[in-house]
Structure 1
């Protein structure tokens, strides 16, 4: 089975900082097209309030080998969720604050429904359970289905050209554009297309009903990929299901507020981490950064839907 979690590393915080005893473990899961480096702008603030931070990369670089069973390497949110669970089990993480950006937000929702013991709070950053509008259901996802298929066709025919057209919108016209573009271009085009199909054609709305972990939804005010109306839908649906959920709108442009609006994003994270630090209790060791390494984790062949 394809393993998607790589380069896992832990930042363990000493008691001399603002984190340490009583603070939470934080798991950071990046979104499509980028890496754990996308957390660099908010990581110092998180470290100052956490006992441990676990980061990793989704491997968007490894295309399916010749002769490899397509079914066993099919891209599903369920398999990504299984890999996240396996990584947290391997690192003995329990009761964590999970911060998931973009696709990882829905991965975290599914993983938390399957293993609620692993999660104390979910922070869902620029999330969307469904990108395609449904007039019959009165659902606004932000895109017509024909537009999604046109985008996927452009990716398939000229991946580099698609990246150069897509990233400026995702970066919000900021100085981070070149950095994000390099990360997108590092993806294997076949993997990028397969994961994009999973994300943009999928429907994870039912997964929201199964989340029992408290959540904070963080949405950029001007996000072309996941507009605020999607975040409002998520909040309403999760509240109906009985989830304790808050919605925070960040005055930011583009799909990466953790990079371009790091201060307000950090402030929201603080609002979750500080009360947990005051309430909880964890054993800590001296501050150290463990080296990045490949983590072998197995994901089950479970469909996208719950």
Structure 2
């Protein structure tokens, strides 16, 4: 069974060190998105990379629309990967929706987690006014999902520049657009729906693992208010503002991303 999971999620183990650090990619991406970050950790850490089922080089035949109809299905996979590698007390770095997937996994089985680092996280993307601002009205999300269904390529070319938000670096937008387009459109749409309509606010109070929230500046997916909300509701959390703009600081500002993660790990 162990081999199945490692193959299913295209798991790679690199580097050396007694401390394991797991990098989990966000929606529409794969483990390759961490390529600028990994060199900063190879020397002192054992680095684990993987692709969610339906992303990257994962085994798409394992995709189950019922299992992956909520974030718990993805959290279960994270735990299975950790179990297969016999990990414990890992540092889990999750980008975007993976922040919440990692948190849900840590609530289920805290022994695998020593610290969680959330990069551009959001517990809820849809506004719940007047008490909660997530950045999107429900009809914004519905329009986005409809666009994915009607014109997948058009959706990718529309969304990529907005979320990357580094107009002077076209190559980053192009890479993200290509990453979006390489997905199976049906799986991508379901993952988008599960991501953008998820609500993890009620789960925050159950989370116990020390957490760093890295808040990007001018992030259209996870605005400043969301970072503040998370910090206020997550025990043992630290909130750090980044100078990196947009939703993909590990691509646009890898040096700052590495530095902030390392500062947290050495000081906490």
TM-score (norm 1): 0.79
The alpha-carbon deviation at position 11 of structure 1 amounts to: 0.8
Is the aligned partner of 1:90 residue 2:84?
yes
Say whether the 8 Å CA contact 1:169–1:224 is kept in structure 2: yes
Evaluate the alpha carbon distance shift between residue 37 and residue 63 of structure 1 in structure 2; reply closer, same or farther with a 3 A threshold.
closer
Q: Which position in structure 2 is the counterpart of 1:12?
A: 15
Q: Which position in structure 1 is the counterpart of 2:29?
A: 34
Q: Which position in structure 1 is the counterpart of 2:238?
A: 246
C-alpha distance in 1, partners of 2:65/2:245? 37
Evaluate the alpha carbon distance shift between residue 162 and residue 12 of structure 1 in structure 2; reply closer, same or farther with a 3 A threshold.
same
Q: Which position in structure 1 is the counterpart of 2:190?
A: 194
Say whether the 8 Å CA contact 2:216–2:249 is kept in structure 1: yes
The alpha-carbon deviation at position 202 of structure 1 amounts to: 1.5
Q: Which position in structure 1 is the counterpart of 2:261?
A: 269
Name which of 99, 116, 120 aligns with 1:126.
120
The alpha-carbon deviation at position 59 of structure 1 amounts to: 2.6
CA displacement 1:12-61 (0-9 Å, x = unmatched): 31xxxxxx3xx5210000101111111111111122332x1110011325
The alpha-carbon deviation at position 70 of structure 1 amounts to: 4.9
Greater RCO (Cα-Cα under 8 Å, separation 6 or more)? 1
Say whether the 8 Å CA contact 1:94–1:118 is kept in structure 2: yes
C-alpha distance in 1, partners of 2:189/2:220? 19
Q: Which position in structure 2 is the counterpart of 1:284?
A: none
Query: More helix by proportion, 1 or 2?
Result: 2
Unaligned 5+ residue runs, structure 2? Answer: none
Say whether the 8 Å CA contact 1:33–1:184 is kept in structure 2: yes
TM-score (norm 2): 0.90
Q: For 1:255, what is the secondary structure of its paired residue?
A: coil
Say whether the 8 Å CA contact 1:49–1:270 is kept in structure 2: no
Q: Which position in structure 2 is the counterpart of 1:151?
A: 144
Q: For 1:60, what is the secondary structure of its paired residue?
A: coil
C-alpha distance in 1, partners of 2:64/2:77? 19
Evaluate the alpha carbon distance shift between residue 266 and residue 74 of structure 1 in structure 2; reply closer, same or farther with a 3 A threshold.
closer
Where does structure 1 differ by over 4 angstroms across 4 or more consecutive aligned residues? Answer: 61-65
CA displacement 1:101-122 (0-9 Å, x = unmatched): 0111000000011111100000
C-alpha distance in 1, partners of 2:68/2:49? 24
Evaluate the alpha carbon distance shift between residue 190 and residue 96 of structure 1 in structure 2; reply closer, same or farther with a 3 A threshold.
same
Q: Which position in structure 2 is the counterpart of 1:257?
A: 249
C-alpha distance in 2, partners of 1:69/1:35? 18
Q: For 1:7, what is the secondary structure of its paired residue?
A: coil
C-alpha distance in 2, partners of 1:259/1:69? 30
* Structure-to-structure mapping, 1:46-65, within 5 angstroms: 46-50=41-45, 52-60=46-54
Q: Which position in structure 2 is the counterpart of 1:17?
A: none
Q: Which position in structure 2 is the counterpart of 1:105?
A: 99
C-alpha distance in 2, partners of 1:69/1:214? 32
Evaluate the alpha carbon distance shift between residue 271 and residue 59 of structure 1 in structure 2; reply closer, same or farther with a 3 A threshold.
same
Name which of 206, 213, 219 aligns with 2:215.
219
Instruction: Name the larger-Rg structure.
Output: 1
CA displacement 1:212-250 (0-9 Å, x = unmatched): 000000011111011111011000011xxxx21100111
Say whether the 8 Å CA contact 1:170–1:224 is kept in structure 2: yes
C-alpha distance in 2, partners of 1:26/1:221? 25
CA RMSD of aligned residues (A): 2.1
